[in-house]
Structure 1
Amino acid sequence: MYAVAVMPVLLAAGWRRQQELPVRLDQLFLFLLAAVLLLAWENLANDVFDADTGVDATGKPHSLVNLTGRRDRVSLLANGALLVGLLLMALVAVRSQGAVLALVLACCGLGYLYQGPPFRLGYRGLGEPLCWLAFGPLATAAGLMALAPEGATAVPWRAALELGSGPALATTLVLFCSHFHQVKEDAAHGKRSPVVRLGTARAAALVPWFVAGCLAFEWGPVLVGHWPLTALLGVAGLPAAQALIRLLREHHREPERIAGSKFLALRFQALNGLGLALGLALGPLLG
């Protein structure tokens, strides 16, 4: 799961190398560690909040609350990960620009809106746009600023949108696919995910469009000459995407057959993002 946490700053590093700009490796390491801790908070807190509604009682056996039976300890662990993650991100901001912490706090805020009471916007089918916004322009802008020299103040929104939109759509696909195997449980507990609203057949038909949209965002800058041809290495994720599309097309009504669909989506997201980051970094070397 943690490929989604580290991807924005890895993409930022690849973009800076493509621009023949230096990458601050100490900042990169700190950002990576903080991002992993903050996603750990998101995942653990999600287990805690979903335990309160009962939605994970049968459809999510790998929930840490279900595995341990200790909601209190999982909650404490989640809050500890949040605190340490934010402290590390504050250090990154002190060593770069204060806006880095503000952007990351905005990402955390969206994460809480998705899962936390009284909002629980994920239960209203709004988790996917929140996911795209957090892991796309916000996290990517934070990564770009964290790796830049001290003193730069403008938030690089244009670069963040160009760089982060496609990979964030791949991350959003991971969340989208996590709903397929638990439609009955979600509906029974009032969680109106997009898959619950659309039904599994129509939702499965959207998966190719997620993939196509991701690639369109990534190929566009290549076509207009903003990125080198090597950025097309993001196609490394296509075999996993094809397997995911085929699985959901043929078995979307069989929860036990598609329980692993989000892991195929994760493979697509990881290989696509890593391929893009590597392709950007290699551009000046091969150009």
Structure 2
Amino acid sequence: MTRNHISMPKNKLWIAAIKPPMYSVAIMPIWVGSGVAFAETKIFNGVIFAVFMTAAILILAWENISNDVFDSETGIDKNKHHSLVNLSGNKQLMFWLGNLCLGSGLLGIIVIALLQKDPTVIGIILLCCGLGYMYQGPPFRLGYQGLGEILCFVAFGPLGMAAAYYSQTQTWSITNLAASVIVGIVTSLVLFCSHFHQIKDDIAAGKRSPIVRLGTQKSAQVLVWFTASIYPLSLLLVGLGVFPIWTLLSWVSLPFAFKLCRHVLENHDLPDKVSNCKFIAVTVHFWSCLLFGTGFMLG
């Protein structure tokens, strides 16, 4: 826990615990997947899109709340003042609030399946939820083995995008799969960046996050390579005719990507200074994915 968090007033700690900017992580796979669907089929169902967006936000809320609940059981959050469990002092309440969000989100997915008369989207989203549980939930706790970024990539990349595309078209798409790689990478960067400032707590709790395994300096270098990869990859796929040229609008996010990489390279071993890098990563994620999806809509 950084000194900045300790000195925060309680209302700001609650905002830090709820993490409003992070919910773009739930929205963007649906935006981009629906954009690909529109580019390929000229189909866009606004009702299904809105229901899916709402459901995704609720399911991510469950993920965030349940992660705080599960982390409270391992002791890794004992110094985390912006943990929902620590702020509320009621782990059971948070557990059931998380489950309420999950149930409400899944209800929205069921509505989509009923509108389509097709249960496929339910199956995909249940698989995503299963990966989300395995990230922190017992007995798996795969995030403690350093596998969180892989789970994140699969859930918010190929699976999340497949569900979004299918919810609009009830078909599959190779172009959507290719786009999901870019969305999956940039989403995983957000999770990767969240580990830098808490390496001491992770080590103490036995959590083998990628930052613990690699060290902060090598992790900062890995971050640069993965952040940089999304831009030439999108250019290559435009050159091959897989993506429309308008998807290069996502390159407008490059200044934020440079800012993220420079900030982490300079401060990787300074928890107080590097702690905000996940929010810079969210900015990269938001603008790159928003403009990427817009490129498909225009293309």
Among 158, 170, 195, the alignment partner of 1:137 is 158
Q: How does 1:115-154 map to 2 (within 5 A)?
A: 115-148=136-169, 152=170, 154=171
- Cα distance in 1 between the residues matched to 2:40 and 2:174: 15
- Cα distance in 1 between the residues matched to 2:217 and 2:252: 27
Among 226, 244, 251, the alignment partner of 1:235 is 251
Match of 1:78 in 2: 98
**Deviation (angstroms), 1:90:** 1.1
Among 34, 50, 53, the alignment partner of 2:74 is 53
Cα contact 2:175–2:242 (8 A) shared by 1: no
| Runs of 4+ in structure 1 over 3 Å off | none
Match of 1:212 in 2: 228
Moved more, 227-236 or 48-57: 227-236
The aligned length equals: 277
Q: Give the counterpart letter for 1:94 in structure 2.
A: L
Match of 2:110 in 1: 90
Match of 2:134 in 1: 113
- Cα distance in 2 between the residues matched to 1:270 and 1:62: 23
Cα contact 1:138–1:160 (8 A) shared by 2: no
Aligned-residue sequence identity (percent) comes to: 43
Cα contact 2:36–2:176 (8 A) shared by 1: no
- Cα distance in 2 between the residues matched to 1:157 and 1:74: 38
Cα contact 2:36–2:296 (8 A) shared by 1: yes
Cα contact 1:162–1:217 (8 A) shared by 2: no
TM-score, reference length from structure 1? 0.94
Q: How does 1:7-26 map to 2 (within 5 A)?
A: 7-26=28-47
**Deviation (angstroms), 1:233:** 0.8
- Cα distance in 2 between the residues matched to 1:180 and 1:217: 26
Three-state SS of the structure 2 residue aligned to 1:57 is coil
Q: Does 1:163 align with 2:155?
A: no
- Cα distance in 1 between the residues matched to 2:36 and 2:176: 10
What whole-Å deviation, never above 9, does each CA across 1:110-166 have from its counterpart, x for those lacking one? 001111001000000010111100111111000001112xxx4x5x25233212110
- Cα distance in 1 between the residues matched to 2:219 and 2:107: 39
**Deviation (angstroms), 1:260:** 0.4
Q: Give the counterpart letter for 1:43 in structure 2.
A: N
**Deviation (angstroms), 1:19:** 2.3
Cα contact 1:40–1:81 (8 A) shared by 2: yes
Q: How does 1:169-180 map to 2 (within 5 A)?
A: 169-180=185-196
Q: Which runs of 5+ in 2 are unaligned?
A: 1-21
- Cα distance in 2 between the residues matched to 1:57 and 1:216: 41
**Deviation (angstroms), 1:70:** 1.2
Q: Does 1:100 align with 2:121?
A: yes
Q: Does 1:40 align with 2:61?
A: yes
**Deviation (angstroms), 1:18:** 2.0
Three-state SS of the structure 2 residue aligned to 1:2 is helix
Cα contact 1:165–1:217 (8 A) shared by 2: no
Cα contact 1:234–1:276 (8 A) shared by 2: yes
What whole-Å deviation, never above 9, does each CA across 1:91-121 have from its counterpart, x for those lacking one? 1122223111100000000001111001000
Q: Does 1:182 align with 2:198?
A: yes
Q: What's the C-alpha RMSD, in Å, of the aligned pairs?
A: 1.2
Three-state SS of the structure 1 residue aligned to 2:78 is helix
- Cα distance in 2 between the residues matched to 1:277 and 1:160: 11
**Deviation (angstroms), 1:63:** 1.4
Cα contact 1:137–1:157 (8 A) shared by 2: no
Q: Give the counterpart letter for 2:111 in structure 1.
A: L
